[in-house]
Amino acid sequence: MRKEIHEFRSVGLILAFIGGAVDLYTYMHYDSFASAQTGNLILAIMQTIDGQWGSVWKKFLSTLFFFLGVFFGKALMHYFRKRNWPFWRLIILYTETLLFFLFSLSFIHTKATLVTIIISFITAAQWISFDKINGRVYTSLFTTGNLKGMASGLYDYLLTKDHKALATFIHFALVVAAFLIGAVVLGISYRLFAEKSILIVAFLFLYLSISQTILVLRFYRSDYPA
C-alpha cells in the first residue's frame, strides 16, 4: 500500500467540504473567518474605520494564529520526517475531531475569540499537512487558487484537447464543488440547529481519523507481517 494515504481523493474532498463548512460557521456564529484571512483583513480594515475595535481585535488574532498554525504544521512535518514516521497527520485529525466536538458544547460559545483563534491555528496546520490529492496540489480552506487551476485547466483543454489538462480541470472542479457544498450544507444546518450544526464537521473528522487509522494498520500489516 502507498504511504500517501492522506492524498486519497476522498480525503481531499471531505477536507474541502469541511473547509467551506467551517468558514461559513465561524462567520455566521463568531463574525470572523477561521481560514479566509483575506476576508478577515478586509473586514478588519472596514471595522477599524467604523471604530468597531472589539471585532477588529478578533480578526487580527485569527490572522496571527493562522500564521502560527502554518508555522507549527511545517515544524511538525519536519520533525516527523526526520524520524521517518509518515503517519503523523493522524495527530492533526484526532486533535481536530476532539476540538470540534468540544466546540459544539454550549458553554464554549461565550468564548468567541478563543474558539476562532484555535480553529484558525489547527486548520492552518491541517492545510499545510494535507495539500495534495493524488500528487496534485490543492487547498481545502479557500477557493481562489482552486478556481485559478480550474479555469487554467479548462482553457488549456479547449485549446489543446490535452486530456491531462482536462484531468486538471476536473480535479479542481471537484474541490471547488466540495467546498461550496460544505458551505451550503452547514448554512442550512445552522438555520435549523444553530451551534450544534458544527457536529457535522466533528463527525467528518472522526470518520477521517478512523478510516486513516485503519489504512495505517493495514499498511503496517502488509509491510511487517507476523
**Domain segments of the chain as ranges:** 7-221
In 3D, which of 131, 106, 73 has the Cα closest to residue 199?
Answer: 106
- The C-alpha atoms of residue 49 and residue 124 are separated, in whole angstroms, by 28
pLDDT tens-digit series, residues 150-205: 999 999 999 999 999 999 999 999 999 999 999 999 999 999 998 899 999 999 99
In 3D, which of 137, 98, 147 has the Cα closest to residue 12?
Answer: 137
Question: Do the beta carbons of residue 200 and residue 186 sit within 8 Å?
Answer: yes
Looking at the whole model, is its pTM more than 0.85? yes
pLDDT at 219: 75
pLDDT at 201: 97
CATH of 7-221, one of 1.20.1250, 2.60.40, 1.10.287, 2.115.10: 1.20.1250
25 pLDDT band, cuts 50/70/90, is very high
pLDDT at 1: 44
Angstrom CA distances, 28 to 47, 86, 95, 136, stand at 17, 36, 23, 32
3 pLDDT band, cuts 50/70/90, is low
Q: What is the CA radius of gyration of the chain?
A: 19
pLDDT at 129: 92
Q: Is 5 helix (H, G, I), strand (E, B) or coil?
A: helix
- Is residue 13 predicted with pLDDT exceeding 60? yes
- Is residue 53 predicted with pLDDT exceeding 80? no
- Is residue 40 predicted with pLDDT exceeding 90? no
- Is residue 4 predicted with pLDDT exceeding 70? yes
- Is residue 63 predicted with pLDDT exceeding 70? yes
Of all residues in the chain, what percent carry a pLDDT higher than 70?
96
224 pLDDT band, cuts 50/70/90, is low
